[in-house]
């Protein structure tokens, strides 16, 4: 599993001119990305998905109207594999305090996110498939994987990710503004720190504008534009991937 590289984080904070409490949002951005990859993108492997697909072949399995078919689940997994393969490049970029490079990486990832969203929109996970997922989850928890809940929690994670980047970026910008206001002018290192913070802030503003553009582009693609709230939405983009209660 992926873990935080403390040395690279310290180097990044120094390059950005971030210190003290102002460094916390940057660390949260990294740890959040690591958690996203470990807990959702990489939670299910090939054998796990084969086990889920096999449920559809069960003698007493009956697909209800609106539920995800075996072919749809297979297609979603293939799209998820493509997404997680390229997602690691974004995590690598986050260790460099250059938000414009982060944004370029997300633009590169956008084609994979859009493909995933189109496949997963408004699908319902069959109850028996979800029960099988819970068996898989129980086994993984013995190997120190986290408890993530239902299968829909894993499948919906990429859909919730883009708004999360926007919110984390806003918190980071607030931290930069606060540190800029608190840097004492009497310190000899203050001019250099101010220059670093200013350059980082300018790139961060561009990053946030780019994320807003990508978010709106996806809203338009979904044909139901949304205004993102200041707080993290519980489920952006039309509440997809619901789960029926197990009988």
| Residue 99 resides in a domain | yes
> Is position 177 within any domain?
yes
Q: Tell me: the pLDDT tens digits for 36-50?
A: 998 899 999 999 999
Residue at 26 is within a domain: yes
* pLDDT above 80 (res 243): no
The CA distance from 127 to 67, in Å, is 9
Rg for the chain, CA atoms, rounded? 20
Which of 85, 151, 98 shows the shortest CA–CA distance to 123? 151
Total domains in the chain come to 1
Say what the pLDDT of residue 99 is: 96
Q: Answer yes or no: is 201 within a domain.
A: yes
Mean pLDDT of the chain: 86
Q: What is the pLDDT of residue 220?
A: 80
Neighbouring residues of 6: CB distance < 8 A, sequence distance ≥ 6: none
Please indicate, yes or no, if residue 1 is contained in any of the structural domains: no
pLDDT-derived band of residue 10, with 50, 70 and 90 as boundaries?
very high
pTM for the whole structure:
0.82
Question: Is residue 225 situated within a structural domain?
Answer: yes
Q: What CATH number did the domain enclosing 229 receive?
A: 1.20.900
Residue-number span of the structural domain to which 40 is assigned: 6-243
């Amino acid at each position: 599993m992926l873990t935080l590289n403390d040395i690279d984080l310290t180097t990044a904070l120094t390059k950005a001119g971030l210190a003290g409490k102002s460094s916390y949002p940057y660390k949260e951005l990294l740890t959040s990305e690591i958690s996203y990859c470990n807990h959702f993108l990489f939670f299910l492997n090939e054998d796990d998905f084969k086990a889920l697909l096999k449920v559809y072949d069960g003698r007493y399995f009956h697909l209800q109207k609106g539920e995800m078919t075996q072919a749809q689940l297979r297609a979603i997994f293939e799209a998820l594999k493509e997404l997680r393969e390229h997602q690691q490049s974004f995590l690598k970029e986050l260790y460099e305090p250059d938000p414009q490079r982060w944004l370029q990486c997300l633009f590169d990832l956008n084609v994979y996110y859009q493909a995933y969203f189109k496949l997963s929109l408004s699908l319902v996970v069959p109850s028996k498939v979800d029960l099988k997922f819970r068996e898989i989850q129980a086994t993984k928890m013995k190997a120190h994987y986290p408890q993530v809940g239902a299968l829909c929690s894993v499948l919906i994670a990429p859909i919730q990710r883009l708004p999360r980047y926007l919110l984390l970026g806003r918190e980071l910008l607030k931290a930069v503004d606060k540190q800029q206001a608190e840097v004492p002018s009497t310190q000899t290192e203050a001019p250099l720190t101010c220059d670093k913070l200013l350059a980082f802030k300018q790139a961060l503003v561009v990053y946030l504008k780019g994320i807003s553009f990508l978010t709106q582009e996806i809203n338009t693609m979904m044909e139901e534009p949304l205004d993102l709230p200041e707080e993290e939405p519980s489920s952006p983009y039309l509440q997809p991937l619901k789960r029926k209660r197990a009988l």
